[in-house]
Amino acid sequence: MEKVNRILWGLVFIVLGVVVALNALDIIDFNIFFNGWWTLLIIIPCFIGLFDTTNESRIGNIIGLIIGIVLLLLCNGWIRFDLIFKLFVPAILVFIGIYLIFGNMFRSKITEKIHETKSKSDSESICATFSEQFVVKNDEEFKNANLDAIFGSVVLDLTNAKIKNEAVITASAIFGGIDIIVPKDVEVKVKSTPIFGGVSNRNKTKDAKKVIYVDALALFGSVDIKWVGFKKE
């Protein structure tokens, strides 16, 4: 997936470079800083995020894409703000109704497994609010954990932890960052909701006997899953 991201971002910069060059040569007359150009900083990352096959949930990217497009339309006067305001509440009600009727139909296997595993045991809570938390599990049995980084950072090191079959981590990074370091012999399955943030799973282990399920929310923050000694290619 990282390779796909690089290709898509590469195409974005190539197109941008070609447009700038054609402008400079007076072949085309295109104002890069058009009304609402800044909304592309929302639209493009969210659009690219839709192609992230490692994340089962793309709700955050879809929401961000819709917000970006609406802001672009507003900036250019193609829709009126009062119309958006009038339709906002009805749209929320329709969305809730659709979710209540069809929500379970689109529930992923990972989501089901997360709820099933979490119900079997209690979860340890680790929270960093305007602070840092560094937690190391050495020769300890690890089952479930809730990680919250709000304007702070959390590092959970499970390199030497004892994991029996399955474990669940719920990670919420809100204007903060969470690093989860896992053993190499553990498979990691992720359900993520990035909203103007990012969730990365750098663990490549497949079909392992031990599995860690991660339910991650990144709201203007980041959740990074890796192993000791990982080096970005």
147 close to 156: Cβ distance less than 8 angstroms: yes
C-alpha span between 136 and 119 (Å, rounded): 24
Q: Where are the alpha helices (DSSP H) in 76-179?
A: 81-102, 109-118
183 close to 228: Cβ distance less than 8 angstroms: no
Average pLDDT along the chain, 233 residues, taken 10 residues at a time: 69 86 82 83 81 61 82 86 78 70 56 64 85 90 90 93 88 93 88 81 80 88 81 48
- Give CA separation, 210 vs 5, 145, 205, in Å: 28, 16, 10
Q: Is the dihedral of CA 190, 192, 196, 197 positive or negative?
A: negative
Q: Cβ atoms within 10 A of the Cβ of 115, count?
A: 13
DSSP conformation class of 185: T
C-alpha span between 132 and 128 (Å, rounded): 6
CA 204 to chain centre: 18
pLDDT of residue 122: 72
pLDDT of residue 233: 45
- Give CA separation, 2 vs 52, 71, 113, 142, 201, in Å: 8, 29, 26, 29, 10
- Is pTM beyond 0.95? Reply is no
AA letter at 37: W
Q: Cβ atoms within 10 A of the Cβ of 128, count?
A: 22
pLDDT of residue 191: 83
- Give CA separation, 197 vs 117, 153, 203, 227, 231, in Å: 26, 14, 19, 21, 21
